[in-house]
């Protein structure tokens, strides 16, 4: 899959959070590309995300972070050290403090519950706290919202976050690239996330350029 990764980007530190919305293939594909490009990734996931990962991808994410870390290193065939997995209330994790923020954070997929908690400034779980750190430190926070239809409450929360500097990137794939597989559809969204992160890739041809 190296051909789909593009040229190596300058190493970044990216927090990736998986929550319990449908759309786990987006988050796992993003994780794969970031690691294979040599970026440092801090991975967080909710209890509901464990259920969705099993249902949608037959992927078991252990409640024990170190077990998941070892498993994913083997799953993606990457060297240990790039990926760090943290527990839901691991308050000494780097992502919990503005003194050591990541370059960016992506919540993918993002439930409306997580979105509302971030919009309200709650920090009861590490995912919410890490997102709050991104906003207060004016670092990039990308929220891949996955719900349909959106209620007025959902939309108001998204607008509030957008006003606070977050990027709202709904998992709404386009079809102008004529996808031939589910992977092509997944890659459409992941490509948009990587663009926002400033990470090079060749998942899709650029508009107006030859494929």
Backbone angles phi, psi at 98, to 5 degrees: -70, -10
| Residue 20 in marked binding region | yes
Q: Taking residues 85-97, what's their average pLDDT?
A: 96
| Residue 146 in marked binding region | yes
| Residue 113 in marked binding region | yes
**150/41 Cα distance (integer angstroms):** 30
| Residue 22 in marked binding region | yes
Answer for the pair 50, 140: CB distance below 8 angstroms, yes or no. Answer: no
| Residue 99 in marked binding region | no
**150/178 Cα distance (integer angstroms):** 27
- What pLDDT band is residue 2 in, cutting at 50, 70 and 90? very low
| Residue 156 pLDDT greater than 60, yes or no | yes
pLDDT at residue 60, rounded to an integer = 96
Q: Per-residue pLDDT tens for 173-187?
A: 999 989 999 999 999
CA 163 → CA 134, 137, 168, distances in Å?
A: 14, 15, 10
Q: Per-residue pLDDT tens for 42-63?
A: 999 999 999 999 999 999 999 9
Domain architecture of the chain: domains with CATH: 2-197 (3.40.50.1950)
CA angle 194, 183, 6 (to 5 degrees): 40
Over the chain, what is the mean pLDDT?
93
- pTM reported for the whole predicted model: 0.93
CA 110 → CA 7, 144, 200, distances in Å?
A: 28, 6, 23
For residue 30, what are the contacts with CB-CB under 8 A and spacing of at least 6?
16, 106, 108, 190, 193, 194
**184/103 Cα distance (integer angstroms):** 27
Q: Per-residue pLDDT tens for 10-39?
A: 899 999 999 999 999 999 999 999 999 999
| Residue 152 in marked binding region | no
Residue 172 has a CB neighbour count (10 Å cut-off) of 12
- What pLDDT band is residue 208 in, cutting at 50, 70 and 90? confident
CA angle 60, 190, 186 (to 5 degrees): 70
Query: What tokens were used for 83?
Result: 């990926």
Outline where DSSP puts E strands in the chain: 13-18, 40-45, 83-85, 104-110, 140-145, 167-168
| Residue 21 in marked binding region | yes
Answer for the pair 128, 117: CB distance below 8 angstroms, yes or no. Answer: yes
């Amino acid at each position: 899959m190296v051909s789909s990764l593009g040229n190596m980007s300058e190493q970044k530190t990216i927090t990736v959070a998986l929550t319990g919305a449908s759309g786990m293939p987006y988050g796992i594909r993003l994780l794969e590309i970031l690691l294979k490009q040599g970026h440092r990734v801090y991975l967080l996931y909710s209890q509901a995300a464990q259920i969705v990962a099993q249902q949608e991808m037959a992927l078991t994410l252990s409640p024990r972070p170190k077990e998941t870390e070892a498993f994913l290193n083997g799953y993606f065939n990457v060297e240990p050290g790039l990926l760090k997995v943290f527990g839901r209330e691991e308050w000494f994790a780097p992502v919990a403090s503005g003194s050591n923020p990541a370059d960016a954070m992506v919540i993918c997929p993002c439930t409306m519950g997580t979105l509302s908690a971030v919009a309200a400034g709650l920090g009861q779980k590490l995912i919410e706290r890490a997102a709050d750190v991104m906003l207060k430190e004016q670092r990039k926070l990308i929220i891949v919202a996955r719900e349909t239809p959106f209620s007025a409450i959902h939309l108001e929360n998204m607008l509030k976050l957008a006003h606070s500097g977050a990027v709202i990137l709904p998992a709404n794939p386009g079809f102008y690239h004529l996808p031939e597989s589910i992977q092509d559809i997944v890659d459409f969204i992941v490509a948009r996330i990587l663009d926002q992160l400033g990470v090079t890739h060749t998942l899709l041809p650029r508009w107006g350029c030859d494929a």
